Structure 1
């Protein structure tokens, strides 16, 4: 009887409410819209050079070689080895660069990437 005179907890109060037929809210929904794709550009092919030597002399030879082929490139210092990206999709040019780097005992592999 003492319990009846005390106020009910919110859970007890909620349990006394009459049940209703409803669908609970969900955490997932679908949204559809038409995006303006007029500014989207087609991806371009580039190459990433993977070299086996990263010492100062080898990097100097690499930069001189790339400059002599008049190819735009981007060097990114990542961990212990730099990442080299070439702004060209010309596979013949890449093969010529790899052949030239072998003269300096720099073994190179080219990876095709699309950006």
Structure 2
């Protein structure tokens, strides 16, 4: 009796599984046909809308200028911002005769030891050294220190 009951339960489960499978297939095919119809109608609406948008643009482009003007108050607003000129900064450019690695190393060490604000801009084989100071004694001291390393230099005033 136990085997027959087990066999009956297994057969019943297979029948239920088959019925659920058939129902799912029918449900999927019905939903698929409805979604394709909706997609087709959406695509048709999109093409109509784009055709309509091109149409109103063309109509707007072909409107001719009227000979009359509607009675309205015209307001012209002009805002003149005050021109603020940035003050030009006076800096000094250090001109050196050598631009090799050793000379640049000595130059950098000298500038760091003199505690001056400086900027080095490298343009290929040339280097521009800008010193941000107004102290002429400090500038002369830097030139003298560079002569110790056989680097001949001069200073030129630059407006930035």
TM range, smaller chain: 0.5 to 0.7
Say which one has the larger Rg: 2
Normalised by the length of structure 1, the TM-score is: 0.65
Aligned residues: 82
Three-state SS of the structure 2 residue aligned to 1:83 is strand
Point out which structure has higher relative CO (alpha carbons under 8 A, 6+ apart).
Answer: 1
Q: Distance in 1 between matches of 2:133 and 2:118?
A: 9
Q: CA deviation at 1:57?
A: 0.7
**1:36 and 2:85 correspond:** no
Gaps of 5+ in 1: 1-32
Normalised by the length of structure 2, the TM-score is: 0.47
Three-state SS of the structure 2 residue aligned to 1:76 is strand
Match of residue 88 from structure 1: 133
Question: 1:52-93 CA distances to partner (integer Å, 9 max, x unpaired)?
Answer: 111111100000000001011111111321010011122221
Gaps of 5+ in 2: 1-78
Larger strand proportion, structure 1 or 2?
1
Moved over 4 A (4+): none
